[in-house]
Amino acid sequence: MVQFTRLFVSLCLIAASVSSPTKRTVAQVEADIASISTQLTTLDEEIKDFTAPDPLGALSIQMTTGSLEHTLNTATLHVKETGPIGEADAPTILDSVEAIEPIIIDALTQIAGKKANFAALLVAPPVVLADLETLKTDTDELGAALISVAPTDLKPSATSIMSAIDAAFATAIAAYS
């Protein structure tokens, strides 16, 4: 019984150490945002180049979207694990997010405008709608995480960026609803 108790306690300690969150760094968050920027640029270009009917182009957009969803979720986790971001680092992160705002808005504008191209592939519009809804949720979660760790004086700017992105998502989602 003593052996079992020691084993049980040891396993509990191992489980507790594995499940405790890892503290991330601001550099990791910056790297995540850079990765998001690269994937967004790729997605924006794929959408711009998409013509109907092009199932391979649609598949490429779908795959890039899936990778972006994963990266957004990872970035959100890293932001939460980083905790409050200091005044010295926050402007760099805000600038990085501001830099990708027009890319996000352009991609969403492009996809809304290409509904007829996607409609030529009968199954594509429901997939596009589902992807847009998922990306909006993932983007909102990352935005909320970034706003929650930002210094108070930068929260209004971050909130303004999120509002502009949310408006672009609303337009794109409306096009496919």
* The two structure tokens encoding residue 108: 């969403």
pTM comes to 0.85
Over residues 125-143, the pLDDT tens digits come to: 999 999 999 999 999 999 9
> How many angstroms from the chain centroid is the CA of residue 144?
11
Residue located via tokens 């601001």: 26
- CATH 1.10.3470 assigned to domain 22-176? The reply is no
The span from the CA of 77 to the CA of 119, in Å, is 35
Q: Residue 162 has what pLDDT?
A: 97
Q: What are the sequence ranges of the domains in the chain?
A: 22-176
The span from the CA of 6 to the CA of 93, in Å, is 47
DSSP track, 48-102:
HH--SS-HHHHHHHHHHHHHHHHHHHHHHHHHHHH-SPPTTTHHHHHHHHHHHHH
Q: Residue 52 has what pLDDT?
A: 85
Task: Rounding to the nearest 10 degrees, give the CA dihedral for residues 53, 56, 61, 67.
Answer: 160
Contact 104, 76 (CB under 8 A): no
Over residues 45-77, the pLDDT tens digits come to: 999 999 988 999 999 999 999 999 999 999 999
Q: Residue 14 has what pLDDT?
A: 47
